[in-house]
Amino acid sequence: MPKLKLTYFDFHGGRGEPARLALSIAGIPFEDDRVPGPDWPRRKPSTPFGSLPVLEVDGAIVTQSNGINRYVGKLADLYPSDPWQAALCDEAMEAVEDITSEVSATFSLPEDQKKAQRQALADGPITFFLTRLQQRLEAGGGQYFAGGRLSVADLKVFVWIRHLRSGKLDYIPADLPDRVAAKLVAHFERVKNHPGMKAYYAKHGIAE
């Protein structure tokens, strides 16, 4: 097994969390390098694209969250070997990445603009992606997004739904997933109750 170091911000969520979860579920040792917010400006120039997460593998580094998810997913047996199922896994991850980018673009806006844009996102794109991801889940059997079992796609969707339901996104109703995509919320609960997930959050003292 290669020596792994995963660098991401010091909070539980975001683009680096699915890789943390995958490695932890599989019991794969890795250095969990958590960057406090105040340290980020100093460390940003040393990253290839000025962003996190960054994965170091035996001294070599790779970036971009879904590329990292695929790599660690293969190490952790959480990425499909079948090409079609792998494509379905990628589809779900890229869909979450698309809508996450739209929400992320609102963080630096003035408060009045942020409110207007987030309300528009909640009524439009977020609802659209919730319902369409639910449809894709149902098309694959209703339990998991690819291969009929847990994969990094499920972890990425889980992290997104967890964030939406946390109430931390001002002007986006925390109950939106429950109202428009009940089967996606049931998937969230299924993933949350995986023994590896429960062990990870218990280890970090987080009630789920």
Of the candidates 159, 168, 127, 114, which has an alpha carbon nearest to the alpha carbon of residue 22?
159
Within a domain: residue 208? Answer: no
- Residue keyed to tokens 């699915």: 18
Per DSSP bridges, beta strands 60-63 and 4-9 are unpaired
Q: Are 82 and 95 in contact (CB under 8 A)?
A: no
User: 9 and 56 in one domain?
Assistant: yes
Tell me the residue range of the domain where 29 lies.
4-78
| pLDDT score at 120 | 98
| pLDDT score at 48 | 96
Domains of the chain: total: 2
Number of other CB atoms surrounding residue 205 within 10 Å: 6
Within a domain: residue 152? Answer: yes
d(CA 20, CA 60): 18
| pLDDT score at 58 | 97
| pLDDT score at 208 | 59
Residue 140 CB partners (closer than 8 Å, separation 6+):
88, 146, 148
As given in the structure block, the two tokens for residue 79 are 């990425």
As given in the structure block, the two tokens for residue 141 are 């059997």
User: 122 and 46 in one domain?
Assistant: no
User: 152 and 54 in one domain?
Assistant: no
User: 169 and 140 in one domain?
Assistant: yes
User: 112 and 74 in one domain?
Assistant: no
| pLDDT score at 204 | 84
Element (H, E) at 132: helix 127-139
Tens place of pLDDT for every residue, the chain, 208 residues?
Answer: 899 999 999 999 999 999 999 999 999 999 999 999 999 999 999 999 999 999 999 999 999 999 999 999 999 999 999 999 999 999 999 999 999 999 999 999 999 999 999 999 999 999 999 999 999 999 999 999 999 999 999 999 999 999 999 999 999 999 999 999 999 999 999 999 999 999 999 988 876 5
| pLDDT score at 207 | 66
User: 179 and 102 in one domain?
Assistant: yes
